[in-house]
Amino acid sequence: MPRLFTEAKKRLREAASHMSVDPDVMEKLKYPKETLSASLLVRMDDGSRRCFKAWRCRYDDTRGPTKGGIRFHTNVRLEEIMTLAFWMTFKCAVANLPFGGAKGGVAVNASKLSKSELERLSRAYVKAFHSFIGPDRDIPAPDMYTNSMVMGWMEDEYSAIVDHPSPAVITGKPLELGGSEGRTDATGRGGYLVIRHLEKDFEIEPDKTSIIIQGFGNAGYNFACLMHADGYKIVGISDSRLAIYDTEGMDPHSVHNYKMKNGTLSGAPSNGTLKEMTNQELLIEACDILIPAALENQITADNASKIQARIVCELANGPVTPAADKILCENGTIVIPDILANSGGVIVSYFEWVQNKAGYYWSLAEVHSKLKERIEPEARTIWKISLEKNVDMRTAAYIHALERLSKAVTAHGTKAYFSS
Ligand code: GLU
C-alpha cells in the first residue's frame, strides 16, 4: 500500500495541474506547520499505569485557527494524523470556514477501557496538548471513537488549566456544556443534503434508489435515517465485524435498536431475506449509492472494478485511494469526495464555536437552515467545476479549495509582487 500522505498530496498536484497556482502556495502546503507527539501515562482501574502514544498535527493555519477531530483507534499513527490534518485544511476551505486544518489521535482500543479509564485518558490528552490547542489556535472535535462525553471532559480539563471556562476550545460538546443543537447528526446530514441537492444532476429518484452503508457509527447511522425517511431504500449495513444485506431493504432505526440490544448486526430485522457477509463483500454488492462511512483505504485498486454502485459518497475520510479513483472514474462512477460529503460535521462545529464566542445560542431550525445554506452552494459549485473542466468531483473540490487557499497565501505577497 503506497503511503497515505504521499497519496493525499497527489490529489493536490492533480488539482493544481488544472489551474495556475503560485509556487509559494504549493510550497506552503507541502508539509504540516507543526506536529506534537506525546506519551500519555494513564492510571488503570487495577492500579497499574499504561502508556499511550498520542499526536496532534496543525497542518495549515493560513485561513484561520486550525480545526479537526481527535480519534481514539488502535491503528492511529503519525502519518495518518498528518494526512487527516491535510484533508481538514481542504475540507475547511471547501466549506469556506475561517479555519485551517488539524487532527489529533491516540493509539488505543477505546472499547477495552472502562469509563473512568477513558475519562483519565481524555484528560491526559489535554494535559499534554493544552499549549498546542486553544480557542484561537487549534480547536479539536470528535472523530472516530470519541464523542460528546469525551469532548466535555477535554473542555473541562482545558478550562481548569487556563482557570476560566473556555467552551470555544473544543466543539462537539454536550448541549448542556456549550454544545450546538444539530451537531450530533451534522456529518450524516451534510452528506444527505449534498445528495438531495444534486439528485436531478445525478439522475436519481428516492424511491428507485438503493443504498449500502459501510460503517454504522454516528455518520453512517444518521445518514441512513435521513435517506430512509425520504424514501431511499437501505439495502446494506455493516459494522466493524459483520455486514448485512437485503434487496428488499431495512429500517435503519430498527437495525440500530437491534444492535444496541444484542451487540451484533447478526439476525437484525429486514424486509426480506437477510444475507450476512464480510465488509469487503458488502462493498461490491448491487446498489445505486455506496456510502463508505468507516475507515480509510476501503476502495482500492483491488476492488474498485467490482463496485456496482453508480455513486460513491465518502462519509469517511479517505476511503477511496487515488488508484481506485481512476478506475471508478473510467467506469463512470461518480465519487462525492470526503472533503465535501462529510463537511457537515465541521460546518456545525464552526457554528458551535461561533455560538461559544458570542455567548448566544441558536435553535435547531436555525442550525439546519444555516447548514443547508452553506453546503448546497459549495456542492453546486464543485459539480459545475467538474463539468466545466471535465474532471471528477474530487479534483473539482480540490480546485475549489485550492483557489481559496491560494488567494489567502498570495495575499501576503509573492515573488511577482516583491520583484516588481
Ligand atoms: N472529525 C470530523 C471531520 O473529520 C469533524 C471535525 C471538526 O468538527 O472539527 O471532519
* pLDDT-above-70 percentage for the chain: 100
pLDDT confidence of residue 168: 98
Distance from the CA of 71 to the center of ligand 1, in angstroms? Answer: 10
Distance from the CA of 270 to the center of ligand 1, in angstroms? Answer: 32
Distance from the CA of 267 to the center of ligand 1, in angstroms? Answer: 33
Q: For the segment 299-329, what is each residue's pLDDT rounded down to a tens digit?
A: 999 999 999 999 999 999 999 999 999 999 9
Domain ranges of the chain: 32-176, 180-420
Q: For the segment 80-125, what is each residue's pLDDT rounded down to a tens digit?
A: 999 999 999 999 999 999 999 999 999 999 999 999 999 999 999 9
Q: Which atom of ligand 1 is nearest to the CA of 140?
A: 9
Domain 32-176, CATH number (from 3.30.420.40, 3.40.50.10860, 3.40.50.970, 3.40.50.10540):
3.40.50.10860
pLDDT confidence of residue 420: 85
Q: Which atom of ligand 1 is nearest to the CA of 346?
A: 8
Q: Which atom of ligand 1 is nearest to the CA of 144?
A: 1
Q: What is the mean pLDDT of the chain?
A: 97
The pTM of this model reads 0.97
Distance from C-alpha of 363 to C-alpha of 8, rounded to nearest angstrom: 37
HEC states along the chain?
CCCHHHHHHHHHHHHHCCCCCCHHHHHHCCCCCEEEEEEEEEECCCCCEEEEEEEEEEEECCCCCEECCEEECCCCCHHHHHHHHHHHHHHHHHCCCCCEEEEEEECCCHHHCCHHHHHHHHHHHHHHHCCCCECCCEECCECCCCCHHHHHHHHHHHHHHHCCCCHHHCCCCCHHHCCCCCCCCHHHHHHHHHHHHHHHHHCCCHHHCEEEEECCCHHHHHHHHHHHHCCCEEEEEECCCCEEEEEEEECHHHHHHHHHHHCCCCCCCCCCCCEEECHHHHHCCCCCEEEECCCCCCECCCCHHHCCCCEEECCCCCCECHHHHHHHHHCCCEEECHHHHCCHHHHHHHHHHHHHHHCCCCCHHHHHHHHHHHHHHHHHHHHHHHHHCCCCHHHHHHHHHHHHHHHHHHCCCCHHHHCC
Q: For the segment 258-267, what is each residue's pLDDT rounded down to a tens digit?
A: 999 999 999 9
pLDDT confidence of residue 202: 97
Q: Which of 9, 103, 173, 259 is catalytic?
A: 103
Q: What integer is the mean pLDDT of 179-205?
A: 97
In this predicted structure, the answer to whether residue 128 has a pLDDT above a threshold of 90 is: yes
Q: What integer is the mean pLDDT of 242-271?
A: 97
Atom 8 of ligand 1 has which residue's CA nearest to it? 346
pLDDT confidence of residue 1: 44
Which is more confidently placed, 2 or 376? 376
Q: Identify whether 103 is a catalytic site residue.
A: yes
Topology at the third CATH level for domain 180-420? Rossmann fold (3.40.50)
Q: What integer is the mean pLDDT of 359-370?
A: 98
| Domains 32-176 and 180-420 in one fold | yes
Q: What integer is the mean pLDDT of 130-157?
A: 97
Pocket test for ligand 1, best of 143, 340, 353 (most atoms within 8 A of CB): 143
